[in-house]
Amino acid sequence: MPFDGTKISTPAETDLVRAANNLGITPIPHAFFTEYKRKELAKHPGSWLYRYQHLVEKTYLAMLTLSFVCAVFSPIFSNIIGKPTIAIVIGGMGSFLMLFWLGASGRITDFEIKTPAEWYIFDYDRHPVFVPPAILKMARKLQAAVPYSHIIIGELRQNTVLLDPYLIVQTLDDEIVIGIWDNTGILYIAEQH
């Protein structure tokens, strides 16, 4: 009986695993790969400004409002207090105009705010990118052995910076991690004996 609890059924070996074994390819273990992806995301969080951008916007609006209030109401306060406040009027109006110009022209948002890194995944054959030759050669051998498989690229990007791409060979029911690299070279590659 399949579900009587006396036997533990093991999943059937997929075509991809069988082909990798026949070619002598030992893939990067999934547990290692999953942990590696998690650690890479943790190493590249968004900047302080990204995490608190709502506070930056509210601070800007508060400064704009305060400078406007200083410019408009300082003549009234000078009559009440009895001291000349022309410096407050000029300073308030000047800061209001400066902040208004910065906001209206987009100068406050000109600097780049570092967003958290994200993984982007795509089919290599539809969007070819640079892959180290050793990794691509091994993936092509595996793909030739399992014709309905696809070569998938995953890229860790932060804003426009490419951090750590990886390559997997994937079918509908399985995937094998072949390699991980960065701009310095190959970090991890499946073993071939």
**Model pLDDT for residues 63-91, shown as the tens digit of each residue:** 667 666 666 666 666 666 656 566 566 66
Q: 119 is written with which tokens?
A: 């993984």
Q: Note the pTM of the prediction, 2 decimals.
A: 0.66
Express as a percent the part of the chain with pLDDT over 90: 38
Q: What H or E segment, with its residue span, contains residue 113?
A: none
Token pair belonging to 186: 């190959």
Contact predicate 175/161, CB 8 Å: no
Question: Could you read off the pLDDT of 19-77 as tens digits, one per residue?
Answer: 999 999 999 999 999 999 999 988 888 776 666 666 666 766 776 676 666 666 666 66
The pLDDT of residue 166 is above 50: yes
Q: Two tokens at 89?
A: 């009027």
Q: Is there a contact between 168 and 177 (Cβ–Cβ < 8 Å)? A: yes
Read off the pLDDT band of 97 (50, 70, 90). Answer: low
Contact residues for 28 (Cβ-Cβ < 8 A; gap 6+): 177, 178, 179, 180, 188, 189, 190
The burial class, CB within 10 Å (0-12 / 13-18 / 19+), for 142 is buried
Q: Residue 168: what pLDDT? A: 95
Kindly state the helix (H) or strand (E) to which residue 170 belongs, with its residue range.
strand 166-170
